[in-house]
Amino acid sequence: MTGAAGTVAATGLAQVFWGSTYLVTTEFLPPDRPLFTALVRALPAGLLLLAVTRVLPRGDWWWRASVLGALNIGAFFPLLFLAAYRMPGGMAAVAGSVGPLLVAGLGAVLLSERVRARTVVTGLVAVAGVTLVMVPGLGSVDAVGVAAAFGSAGAMSLGTVLGKRWGRPAGAGPLALTGWQLTAGGLVIAPLAVAVEGAPPAIDAAGVAGYGYLALVNTALAYWLWFRGTGRMTATGVTFLVPLSPLTATVLGWGFLGESLTAVQVAGMAVALAATVAGQWSPRAAAGARLVTGGPAESGARAVRR
């Protein structure tokens, strides 16, 4: 698959990888160590990509990469896991699915872009679809968890819009840009992880395999696919791929963890997927657009918890 459709498919694959985060976290990793998990995901992958690309930021891109890394990784990862541990994952998934609406609003403020009624309607449909999928896991409201979930979605959305505003630096491809942000975000998380969680937990063979997958496939590869795609798509088109993450988490939970899948959830999947497809039919997205270097949403990292 080539061209615009190939770009959308490859970028969407990143969301599919992120949808596996819940399964890997619950089945392979030590429990209740969100900051350590976020650190292991970000910093080793970032350092690996820096070693591979051997390209460092120049000029303004030192602070720009730091800001984007702090938003897309340093803030997003801890808030994501905090939300997942404080409340049912379904509610976190619903909060994360508001990404397209947040990006549209921030784009109007920071980029002077007109908010299209079509974008708002499609975004609301996506939220409705994800809500239907996650209905069994919504549960009670935790104020801190809700704030963290919306905070993670807000950090990603702001990173997306700022990335679009700044474009991509000359002489640096998406692999280098990914390495900069993962490293910067990892350095933000490291002192927080030490201060809050202390020494690293004991890790068995399954944990090594799980962390290896998260760092290499779920982070290094997936983020490269994401940043490669966001460099060729509009910010709104990119964020409409977000529902693929909770939908993937739902399917994996059904297939590997024996979780039930009701008719309402299947209907919600169809609605969310329809909104995802519709979000790619924007005239600007079809034209292929200005550069975007924002971060992903992983609202489905723990999207189904029965």
pTM of the full predicted structure?
0.79
Q: Picking from 88-92, 111-115, 260-264, 287-291, which range would have the lowest pLDDT averaged per residue?
A: 287-291
Q: pLDDT higher for 105 or 16?
A: 16
Mean pLDDT, rounded, for 134-162: 77
C-beta atoms surrounding 26 within 10 Å: 15
Q: Each residue of 120-131: pLDDT tens digit?
A: 788 788 777 777
Mean pLDDT, rounded, for 271-299: 58
How far apart, in whole angstroms, are the C-alpha atoms of residue 259 and residue 22?
Answer: 13
Tokens of 260: 């039930």
C-beta atoms surrounding 195 within 10 Å: 9
Output the pLDDT for position 171. 85
Domain ranges, ordered by start, for the chain = 3-280
Give the mean pLDDT of the chain.
Answer: 80
Q: For residue 302, report the phi and psi dihedrals to the nearest 5 degrees.
A: -130, 50
CA distances from 37 to 73, 110, 111, 193 (A): 12, 33, 34, 9
How far apart, in whole angstroms, are the C-alpha atoms of residue 44 and residue 50?
Answer: 10
Mean pLDDT, rounded, for 272-283: 73
How far apart, in whole angstroms, are the C-alpha atoms of residue 7 and residue 227?
Answer: 11
Contact 292, 111 (CB under 8 A): no
How far apart, in whole angstroms, are the C-alpha atoms of residue 74 and residue 189?
Answer: 6
Sign of the dihedral defined by the CA atoms of residues 198, 204, 206, 209, in that order: positive
Highest mean pLDDT among 3-7, 172-176, 225-229, 274-278: 172-176
Q: For residue 149, report the phi and psi dihedrals to the nearest 5 degrees.
A: -65, -45
How far apart, in whole angstroms, are the C-alpha atoms of residue 267 and residue 254?
Answer: 15
How far apart, in whole angstroms, are the C-alpha atoms of residue 35 and residue 126?
Answer: 29
Output the pLDDT for position 250. 78
How far apart, in whole angstroms, are the C-alpha atoms of residue 165 and residue 187?
Answer: 24
Mean pLDDT, rounded, for 165-181: 89
Output the pLDDT for position 295. 47
Q: pLDDT higher for 132 or 218?
A: 218
Q: Each residue of 84-98: pLDDT tens digit?
A: 666 655 556 666 677
* Residue 189 confidence class, pLDDT cut points 50, 70, 90: very high
289 pLDDT higher than 50: no
Q: Picking from 16-20, 24-28, 85-89, 263-267, which range would have the lowest pLDDT averaged per residue?
A: 85-89
Element (H, E) at 128: helix 117-134
Q: What is the CA radius of gyration of the chain?
A: 18
